[in-house]
Amino acid sequence: MQTVEMAALRFEDVTESDTIVSGPPPVPLPTWKIMLLVAAGGAVGAMLRFALTAIAPAVTTPTLVEIPWATLVANVLGCLVLGALNGHLEISAGRPWMHPLLGTGLCGGFTTMSTVVLEGSAMIGADFPLLALLYAGLTLVLSLGAVVLGLLLGHRLAARREVTA
């Protein structure tokens, strides 16, 4: 009987550049510090989202409805930043406060799926179901694409930083 060896499973063929090293495990923060970091980041993220909405308000009247661009931009930009942060932290160990403050707090406070649902419902209620469907589709596709792009950018930046360090 002939044995077939799979080259992809041989350890000798794996070089150090083929693996991702995350470094030592981070020291966990106390729960109360995590809560304060998330709250602070969330407050800043919500204020930034409100400012964006104030700068670019959406037109919504009984006969005219447009895509709420500020909400769409906030969600896509927040997903991009969150993806970049996570991509960077997968390669390079960051400080233990980074993810609660910047990821969960800032990006979580800046992005808003509940507003997407509310705005989409208002579009349907105003008899603009196709616009609501377009808005939901754009939000989904662009936000997921932004996360993937952010992960790739975060990986690349962290890898470049590791090489220069």
The confidence score (pLDDT) of residue 104 equals: 95
Residue 46 has pLDDT above 70, yes or no: yes
In the chain, where are the structural domains located?
28-164
Q: What is the pLDDT of residue 6?
A: 47
C-alpha 159/C-alpha 90 separation (Å) is 10
pLDDT score of 97: 93
pLDDT digits (tens, 9 = 90+) for 2-40: 555 544 445 555 566 555 555 566 678 999 999 999 999
Q: Give the whole-angstrom CA distance, residue 99 versus residue 108.
A: 11
Mean pLDDT of 145-161: 93
Dig out the tokens for 155 from the structure. 């990986």
How sure is the predictor about 57, in pLDDT bands with cuts at 50, 70 and 90? confident
Dist CA 35 CA 33 (whole Å): 5
- Cα 12 from chain centroid? 36
DSSP tag of 99: I
Question: Which is more confident, 28 or 42?
Answer: 42
Look at residue 51 in the predicted model and tell me its pLDDT. Answer: 96
